[in-house]
Structure 1
């Protein structure tokens, strides 16, 4: 939802299927911010605007600006009526019109590479006393995510590098990069999510296919996609057993960091 690198736009309906599960980490990040510097509040990678109401409640009169590369997501965000302005931009190229007091990014920056350059650049945009607050999935080594790539490498070896799946750096790299710039905090939380039954599919597949697996599936034709999904689901039934009611208890790890300059 954040960059222009993907050949097809995001599907807001598919993304919103797990709205409550995707919303909670963003609220946890917002509740961890204790600085309220003067300046705009920027929702960087705002997606469909699901965190707009919470940001507005905490803004205390500051302007709220939503930034995203996806026209479809921005259209949904516009319907939330929480943003003072919405900007269509790739995060890698975006620059604020004036120094923000808060740059808030929930589940977006893992889609953008070169964090060694990007995060210090974002920090330099802030007003004095401003905060950079980021939450990103840190799930790539778990079966839910790793199997998409391992199967892709096996089945489509010459095409994997072009699929553009997201990733994050090791936690210590963020600490080394950002702690010299201000007051830095870093933590992780593993959320145990109950995914409800999905007719004809494993719930973990439904959860991951509209986000992490999206660039992988976009690169395949219908026959290739069906075979990859079939083999992925076989692996998910082993890694995440389905209960009698069809649901799955799914552990999902997320990384949080804040930097106040």
Structure 2
């Protein structure tokens, strides 16, 4: 988790509490990514890129108790929560696009941060960060000489109904329309760019490392409260940039969210018990130097 650039309508920092409403479900890809690294893997220095409220950092610390871990995020609110949760861990306020980790870093771990980047800067940023990790034969802080690892996952849900409905609602008639129409069609867009192909990542990273592994897992989350459950889920992530475009006063935000909720009702049938199944694909990439 990390952040997109703030909109200019008031205080739009991220809400750790909203994000952690679904902490068990959000932690599943973190567990899966850590597990892929194998039981014998023991990095000495780890940087958790886009650490958010520290949930990924906490899981990394539990799995690698002897490692020196630094968490990095661009949200002051998220970092404040992370510091309360892990007071003995170092956390840094920074933008992943310009952040440079220590040169003795063995593992760069990223839970979702890269999906906030625009297409032209995403793979170049990932490649630049990979090249900051330890190289084979270089002594790491813990004395090891293995090559560094960059392990990350990104939501791959641009074409999923949950995210398509955001764009469709923003383009529909309503009191929110003038605010979306006034946005420049580049950095100010609230929707995120689609994730690049497997081949794009392989071709970009493989020249710099000995192996690249990549796959997609389609998680199916069972959410209580019907379509309200989906709204609450995305309010902690992808929906917030849309809401941030709108003024905090006057009911425009509430009207937009309600229109979005109604659109969800058209594409997500309820289970017999009133719950809803949210399919959430995530792309995983692990590069070994």
- Is the shorter-chain TM-score for this pair beyond 0.5, marking a shared fold? yes
- The Cα shift of 1:37 comes to 6.4
Gaps of 5+ in 1: none
CA positional deviation for 1:174: 1.2
2:36 aligns with: 32
Match of 1:78 in 2: 83
Distance 1:212 1:62 in 2: 32
Aligned partners of 1:96, 1:83: CA distance in 2, in Å? Answer: 19
Q: Which runs of 4+ in 1 moved over 4 A?
A: none
TM-superposed deviation, 1:224:
2.8
Q: CA deviation at 1:165?
A: 2.8
For 1:66-105, list aligned pairs within 5 A: 66-81=71-86, 84-105=89-110
Greater Cα shift, 215-224 or 28-37: 28-37
Given that 2:14 and 2:78 are in contact with CA atoms closer than 8 Å, whether structure 1 keeps it comes out as yes
Aligned to 1:121: 128
Question: Within 2, Cα distance between the matches of 1:219 and 1:83?
Answer: 36
CA apart distance, 1:36: 3.7
**1:214 aligned to 240, 250, 253, which one?**
240
- The one of 177, 180, 196 aligned to 2:204: 177
Q: 1:1-261 residue pairs with structure 2 within 5 A?
A: 2-3=2-3, 5-7=5-7, 8-34=12-38, 36=41, 38-81=43-86, 84-113=89-118, 114-128=121-135, 129-155=147-173, 156=177, 158-159=181-182, 161=185, 162-167=188-193, 168-182=195-209, 183-197=211-225, 202-221=228-247, 222-261=250-289
Contact 2:133 2:149 in 1 (8 A): yes
Equivalent-residue separation in structure 2 for 1:210 and 1:38 (angstroms): 31
Measure the CA separation in 1 of the matches of 2:88 and 2:171.
Answer: 41
Bigger Rg, which one: 2
Q: TM-score, normalised by structure 2?
A: 0.83
Following superposition, the deviation at residue 178 of structure 1 comes to 1.4
C-alpha RMSD over aligned residues: 2.0
